[in-house]
Structure 1
Amino acid sequence: MSWSELPTTALLTAAPLLLGLGALLSYRQPQPVAAWRLARATTLSGLLISAALLVLGLLSGPGLTGGWWQSGPLHLIMLLLANFIGFVVVRYSTHYLQGEPRQQRFAALVQAVFAAVSIAVLSDHLLVFLAAWLGISMAMHQLLMFYPDRPRAALAAHKKFLFARAAELCALTAFALLYLHHGTGQISTIVAAYTADSAALTVSEQFAACLLAMAALIKCAQLPLHGWLIQVVESPTPVSATLHGGVINLGGYLLLLFSPLLLQSVPAQALILLVAGVSSVLAALVMMTRISVKVRLAWSTSAQMGLMLVEIALGLVELALLHLLAHSCYKAYAFLSSGEAVQQDLLRRQAPARSPSAVRWLGALAISALIVAGFGVVAQSGFESTAFDALSPWVLLTLALTVLLAERGSRVTTGSLLAFTALAVVLTSVYLALKSVLGVVFPGPAHVTPIWADLWMSTLFVALFLGYYLQRHCLHRPWVQTLNVYLYAGFYLDEWVTRTTLQIWPHKLPRRARPKQLHPISEEGLL
């Protein structure tokens, strides 16, 4: 490491180091107030340092070097995101956990999680990355068990513990294969080899790509290994915000990091498109059947993670990064504001869905298709990137705008067709602008989306639209009600996985502190 790299390396090291020291000192504080004060100071410092690093990196371009850390746009953006979510969660937890025991331990664990996340997104060595990933999982396990007497929380933590070890074993095997093939554990060197060379992959490289895809699918809670993500809502709300807003995105980050390898492996792409594509559609439809706001958000996370992995497999890495950033901020906010669910439910009840006529649906589809086609022509002619060549994202955008235009009008949201058309144009413009900006900041490898992948995902998006229509406007039909029952149960996939998991690796669950008891009905109660 040269002398010119020392300042940047010191700043990059300071972010995880401050959080790690803050975790140690917060745990040893005699009073919760002092622990939270220290946690707020360390997370704010990490946020300011990561923001300064991102600005410095964007201004200096490829000239910014960080010694043993990676300091590219992807890594600095992820570092800023992690520290921002950590700062918000700590600020919220300071008041949320007032009066709870073991607050110092909670503050220490939250800082430890984001310290490990910072190391993972900056590390330039396979073993350091894997060790940080393991540290994140272990700290999250303790947070999920913050209320150890809750059976559902213990079951979720047990399943997550086992699935996380399986994901780490896949990653370890993939890293070993890559190390043996390239003769180095430096991530930047390995990724650069696939960026510069498009030669056919060997069998070991194909196997490594598939193992990385498996690790990401497991980490992102894709069906059928999704149940733990739904059940961890038993943990405190800040833990859910930490998990859904930050930690679960690391599966997507893993694939973004190794996207040059992944996009040269057809089997790995097919695996992700099959599993994550089906998971995103089913999880989105199951979410619509749930009433509990936190459970709905958990199903939404599984669906969003599946869609993000699909975007990476299609070669749309800049869109996947945009998706990751937007989902992290939105989902952290949604969990931390979940206490407003009653008010939101009242507003929803005041705005009953009106079933649009066939003419309205066809008109909305025609207008949406024209808007998207117009922007598609602009994107194709104005940008040289292949990121706009894939068809399926435009299909999804068209269907989303169709729903927006067709279902306009209720007690809460009213407006003319012209106003909603203008809104659709604005949303499409914002989508195109943000995707273009991230395409410049984080240009992905040159990749042409295979026609079979485009057709597969377009078919799934149409199926999602049809499922949405059935649930919203055809629930009075008996066969749709039967389908809705299976959707509400998640097709019983988690029950099967839970039963199988406990048979392979039994775990004694705690008993309820105050179990419900059935009392015989007295004669007076019958009168």
Structure 2
Amino acid sequence: MRLVTDWDLPIFRIDRLNLVMAALIIFVAVNVFSFSRRYLAGDRQYRRHLAGIIFLALSVLGMVFADHLAVMLIAWGISNFLLVRLMIHKSEWRAAWNSGMLAFKTFALGFVLLTIGFGILSEQAGSSSISRILDQAGQFGKPMMTIALALIVLAAVTQSAAWPFHKWLLSSLNSPTPVSALMHAGLVNGGGFLLVRFAPMFQTQPILLHSVFVLGLISAVLGTSWKLIQTDIKRMLACSTLGQMGFMLMQCGMGLFAPAISHLCWHGLFKAYLFLSASSVLEDPKRKAYFGSRSFVTFLLALGLGVPGAFAFLLISGLLNPTLDTRLLLVGLAFMTCCQLAGRVLETGKSLSRILGAAVASIFGGGLYGLSIFLIDVLLEPLHLMTPQPLDVCYVTGFGFIGMIWLFMNLNGIQRFQNTELWKRLYMSALNSSQPSPHTITNVRAQYHY
């Protein structure tokens, strides 16, 4: 294999993709570091924790800027090892140790898969330079190259904690809050970055793109559904991450790698904020979630107000195109999101001012999301990350499945069927499946070692 050769080549490279990812990494790391200085003040592992954050950020940056397969692989392994060490924090706390070991085993599997995949890729391409391999992406059509890319996909899925490798993320709740913020806002995004980095090669592999789409669909549905039934705020956020990584994988599977990067950036910033502000949400007695049922009239109004939001998304994102391809599905997802925004405003009243407010929220939300995709697409255009796929049975069926679930939730399907035996079985199955590993749970306070 040529994985450890070609050291005469540059081992790092600066391009627009890694500059975007580096900006996200540095911003999140600086905020988490600042938060940790106060959050863990007085902790006996204080200095080691702060040093771990710095070295973790540096190793992730090394992975992002790597232009040699071996360098990327080494940085990938170091990043995961440092994350596990930060997760455990206090090794005498058994539940935390078990959480770290579960993550370590999953990361080790991903590392092995990535090593084999990179080895095959290097051998088939005749080079270990990532930029050289990508420059020749259209020339590869060998079965072994498909196997290499499939292994890279599996490695990315383990890193992003997507189904069926999600258990380590749901069991990571023993980690200190700043570590959880780093994990959910940064390290899980590594899987998405890996797919986007090799996007030119995946664009010639429709079967693999369909596989990524299906894995993302399952992860999105499970994560989003499980989030709604959690009573623990950190577990709810973990399920939310599973769902968001699923949507990111769906975008990659549709050949829309630029929107996937936009999604990663938004998710990273928002999830870091949610974790770092979780304690203040718990302490604020005025914050109450709204769980009332949505009337049919409210839903119809939300549907109507979702149209201008979707149009704003379509107009600003630059995705307006008469061709029937996967960009149309992205517009459909934007429409659902705008409807949810409008519906949330209308739940507190249907006066003229509320309707106007809902319309503004829909247009602003759709326009902002569309603007972020447009900017990322323009910025990364030289990398050719937008290759929409033709609509086929797989994509249409997957989108239709999400649409049915969305309609079921908005038409109060839960309220209508929650007393049926089938619903009770589904609920208990979802609740049990979304639980962390039993060995990572602290059952009594005496088992917690501070």
TM range (shorter): 0.7 to 0.9
CA contact (8 A) 1:245 1:331 kept: yes
2: distance between equivalents of 1:449 and 1:421?
Answer: 32
2: distance between equivalents of 1:183 and 1:105?
Answer: 42
1: distance between equivalents of 2:310 and 2:319?
Answer: 14
Q: 1:514: which partner in 2?
A: 446
Instruction: Report the secondary structure of 1:315's partner residue.
Output: coil
Alignment of 1:341-490 (within 5 A): 341-343=281-283, 346-349=286-289, 351-357=290-296, 359-369=297-307, 371-373=309-311, 376=314, 390-410=327-347, 416-443=354-381, 444-445=384-385, 447-452=387-392, 453-466=394-407, 468-469=409-410, 470=412, 473-474=415-416, 476-478=418-420, 479-490=422-433
My pick for the range that moved more, 266-275 or 129-138, is 266-275
Q: 1:131: which partner in 2?
A: 74
| Deviation per residue, 1:28-47 (Å, 9 max, x gap) | xxxxxxxxxxxxxxxxxxxx
Q: Which runs of 5+ in 1 are unaligned?
A: 1-65, 499-506, 517-527
Instruction: Report the secondary structure of 2:173's partner residue.
Output: helix
Q: 1:83: which partner in 2?
A: 26
Deviation for aligned residue 1:423? 1.6
CA contact (8 A) 2:60 2:75 kept: yes
Q: Which runs of 5+ in 2 are unaligned?
A: 1-8
Deviation for aligned residue 1:474? 4.1
RMSD after superposition? 3.0
Q: 1:36: which partner in 2?
A: none
CA contact (8 A) 1:263 1:313 kept: no
Answer with 1 or 2: which has the greater Rg.
1
Letter in 1 for 2:169: L
The structure-2 alpha-carbon separation of the partners of 1:170 and 1:97, relative to structure 1 and needing over 3 Å to count, comes to same
The structure-2 alpha-carbon separation of the partners of 1:376 and 1:114, relative to structure 1 and needing over 3 Å to count, comes to closer
CA contact (8 A) 1:210 1:271 kept: no
1: distance between equivalents of 2:92 and 2:31?
Answer: 27
CA contact (8 A) 1:372 1:397 kept: yes
2: distance between equivalents of 1:381 and 1:129?
Answer: 33
Alignment of 1:9-158 (within 5 A): 68-158=11-101
Q: 1:167: which partner in 2?
A: 110
| Deviation per residue, 1:135-176 (Å, 9 max, x gap) | 011111111111223333222211111111111111111111
Instruction: Report the secondary structure of 1:348's partner residue.
Output: coil
1: distance between equivalents of 2:417 and 2:193?
Answer: 38
The structure-2 alpha-carbon separation of the partners of 1:446 and 1:283, relative to structure 1 and needing over 3 Å to count, comes to closer
Q: 2:147: which partner in 1?
A: 207
Q: 2:243: which partner in 1?
A: 303
The structure-2 alpha-carbon separation of the partners of 1:91 and 1:448, relative to structure 1 and needing over 3 Å to count, comes to closer
The structure-2 alpha-carbon separation of the partners of 1:394 and 1:145, relative to structure 1 and needing over 3 Å to count, comes to same
Deviation for aligned residue 1:511? 10
Q: Which has the higher contact order (CA 8 A, sep 6+)?
A: 2
2: distance between equivalents of 1:472 and 1:177?
Answer: 49
- Aligned length, in residue pairs: 434
CA contact (8 A) 1:244 1:331 kept: yes
Letter in 2 for 1:439: D
Identity %: 22
CA contact (8 A) 1:315 1:387 kept: no
2: distance between equivalents of 1:279 and 1:299?
Answer: 10
The structure-2 alpha-carbon separation of the partners of 1:103 and 1:70, relative to structure 1 and needing over 3 Å to count, comes to same
CA contact (8 A) 2:210 2:254 kept: no
TM-score after normalising by structure 2: 0.87
1: distance between equivalents of 2:386 and 2:204?
Answer: 11
CA contact (8 A) 1:353 1:472 kept: no
CA contact (8 A) 1:148 1:510 kept: no
1: distance between equivalents of 2:283 and 2:444?
Answer: 31
Deviation for aligned residue 1:376? 3.4
2: distance between equivalents of 1:377 and 1:328?
Answer: 25
**Residue of 253, 270, 283 corresponding to 1:330:** 270
2: distance between equivalents of 1:417 and 1:142?
Answer: 50
The structure-2 alpha-carbon separation of the partners of 1:73 and 1:377, relative to structure 1 and needing over 3 Å to count, comes to closer
CA contact (8 A) 1:170 1:215 kept: yes
Alignment of 1:272-283 (within 5 A): 272-283=212-223
1: distance between equivalents of 2:440 and 2:332?
Answer: 48
2: distance between equivalents of 1:472 and 1:509?
Answer: 30
Alignment of 1:262-277 (within 5 A): 262-277=202-217
2: distance between equivalents of 1:186 and 1:346?
Answer: 55
2: distance between equivalents of 1:244 and 1:356?
Answer: 35
Letter in 2 for 1:462: G
